[in-house]
Each structure stands twice: as structure tokens, then as C-alpha cells.
Amino acid sequence: MQQYSDEQLMLLIKNKKDDALHELYDRYAKLVYSFAMKSKRDPQFAGEIVQMVFTRLWTTERGYDASKGKFVNWLLTITRNLSIDLLRKERKQEALVPLDPAMEAGTAEMASLSFEDPLSRRLFKQQVEEAYRYLSDNQVKLIRLFYWEGYSLSEIAQMGGEPVGTVKSRLHQTLKLLRRHVTPWREE
């Protein structure tokens, strides 16, 4: 495989010859890695980019076109584009607002309640269901989706076409209202 040109190797890769991919990897993995390190000085990030680039080479339907330039330039363009995409994705994740600590404390308090006997469990459940009458249908639905059905805040926001911050705020207000109408239940 070492005697093949980059263009010939790409034709073989298009025909799913994995030896050709291994050869290109051996030739260019270090270059792709160092190029990705320039985007973000993080070895894990660069390693992920290398994996993504060579996966893209294997899966892409459009191959390298020699009439448009050198193979190495095309490869580094793919590297740059994937690096930018991954950086954007990371920034988007970092921009998500964390759960309000006060809300977390209330949630932990509710979760930490343990009911050894079925009667205590039934009484608490009855109290919660009675408190539902103070909530709107949307508030009850929000509680059910988040706590009982296990949807994340972002999934609930997507379902309702709302920003995540709005859903968090509604959940916080709903929990405050619910706590007001549920007698604190502690096992002594």
C-alpha cells in the first residue's frame, strides 16, 4: 500500500478497502493531530478530531477530487471544519444553564425521603396528589415529565418549543407551590 498515491488510496477507501485507510492513517494521523491541537490545546480533543476525520474519510460518499487541489489541503480542510463543529458543540453545551441549587436541594430532600411501611408511602402519595389541585395542568404535566418519566429539562423545552430557562423557571415555581401544600414528611 505504501507505493500508492493518496488519490489511489482514496479510491480504494471508496471501495471499502480498509488497508488503504490504515495507510492514510499512518501517513497523516500525526499531521491531523497537530493541526487539531492548534484549535484547542487539549490532547483528548485532538484525538477525537483524528478519529472523526478518518471516520469521515471512510464514510464519505464524495471522495477527494485531485482537480480541486492537493490531498493534504483537502484533509486539513476536513480537520478544520470538524474542529470548528466540535468547538461550537462544546460552547453550546457550556452555555446551558445549570440547575438552580435551591431547586436541587428541594429535589434531593424529596428523593431522600424513605418510607419503610406502605401506609406512610400511601399517605405521602395521597398528600402529593391532593396538592396537585393547586397546580395547573401544565404544572402537573411538567412534574410528571421531569420526575416520573425521566425527561431532561432540554427535552421538555424542545417538546414545548420553549427555552430551557423558561422550563427551569416554571419547574422551580411549581416545586415551590407544591412544597407549600405538602406537609413536611420525616420519619423519626
Q: Are 49 and 82 in contact (CB under 8 A)?
A: yes
Residue type, 67: S
Residues 107 and 175 in one domain: yes
Residue 186 lies in a domain: no
What CA dihedral angle connects 128, 134, 138 and 140, to 10 degrees?
A: 0
Check which CATH number belongs to the domain holding 28 and give it: 1.10.1740.10
**Last residue in a domain, options 72, 95, 118:** 95
Residues 72 and 15 in one domain: yes
Which letter does DSSP use for residue 69 in this model? S
Residues 163 and 142 in one domain: yes
Residue 103's pLDDT band (cuts 50, 70, 90): very low
Query: Could you tell me which residues come within 8 angstroms of residue 90 by beta carbon, excluding any fewer than 6 positions away?
Result: none
Residues 121 and 88 in one domain: no
Residues 75 and 11 in one domain: yes
What is the structure's pLDDT at 126? 78
d(CA 116, CA 119): 9
Return the top range by mean pLDDT from 50-54, 61-65, 95-99, 179-183: 50-54
Residues 70 and 108 in one domain: no
What is the structure's pLDDT at 187? 46
Residues 33 and 81 in one domain: yes
Place of cell 493531530: 33
Q: Is the pLDDT of residue 10 over 50?
A: yes
Q: Are 63 and 101 in contact (CB under 8 A)?
A: no
pLDDT digits 0-9 by tens, 15-71: 899 999 999 999 999 999 999 999 889 999 999 999 999 999 998 877 788 888 899
Residues 72 and 18 in one domain: yes
Specify the higher pLDDT residue, 92 or 73: 73
Residue 96's pLDDT band (cuts 50, 70, 90): low
Domain range spanning residue 134?
Answer: 101-181
Structural domains in the chain (count): 2
Residues 91 and 108 in one domain: no
Question: Measured between alpha carbons, how far is residue 142 from residues 105, 111, 113, 188 in Å?
Answer: 18, 17, 21, 31
* Burial of 43 per CB tally in 10 Å (0-12, 13-18, 19+): exposed
